[in-house]
Amino acid sequence: MSVRVYDLAHSRSGDKGNTSNVAVIAYDDAGWEILQRELTSERVAQAYAHLAAGPVTRYELPRLRALNFVIENALAGGVTRSLRIDPHGKALSSIVLEIVLPGDVPDPGAVRPQEQ
């Protein structure tokens, strides 16, 4: 069964010049195992291909159950040069959440904490 990153984690993004940082933080150990195995730099690069020229580098932070993706050439030149609505790239974290991963998750609703 496939699962979206959204069902396993939350994310945050930020910028430094023309580079975007996108962090993906798993809700639990089960989600972390799937993300660590399936959320590759290549998958992230493909998801951001319409905005970023790359390259994409993945860093693992296992004690935080997090992956940090550094996506170069992603912000149309950076804050002072970009004409994009979101020059800081704060909304770019939503793209990673929509990536669909193959995984052994019986019920994605059971993995993601229930909304209150």
Q: Beta-carbon neighbour count of residue 55 at 10 Å?
A: 11
Q: Given this model, what pLDDT does residue 107 score?
A: 56
Q: What is the mean pLDDT of each run of 10 residues along the chain (116 residues)?
A: 93 83 95 95 94 91 96 70 51 88 63 51
Tell the burial category of 76 from Cβ atoms under 10 Å away from its Cβ (0-12, 13-18, 19+).
middle
Classified as helix, coil or strand, 73 is: coil
Q: Given this model, what pLDDT does residue 33 score?
A: 95
Does the pTM surpass 0.75? The reply is: yes
Domain-located, residue 110? no
The parent domain of residue 62 ranges over 2-102
- In order, the DSSP letters of 77-95 are T-TTT--SS-TT-GGGHHH
Q: What is the largest CA-CA distance in the chain?
A: 46
Domain-located, residue 20? yes
Q: Beta-carbon neighbour count of residue 58 at 10 Å?
A: 17
CATH code assigned at 63? 3.30.70
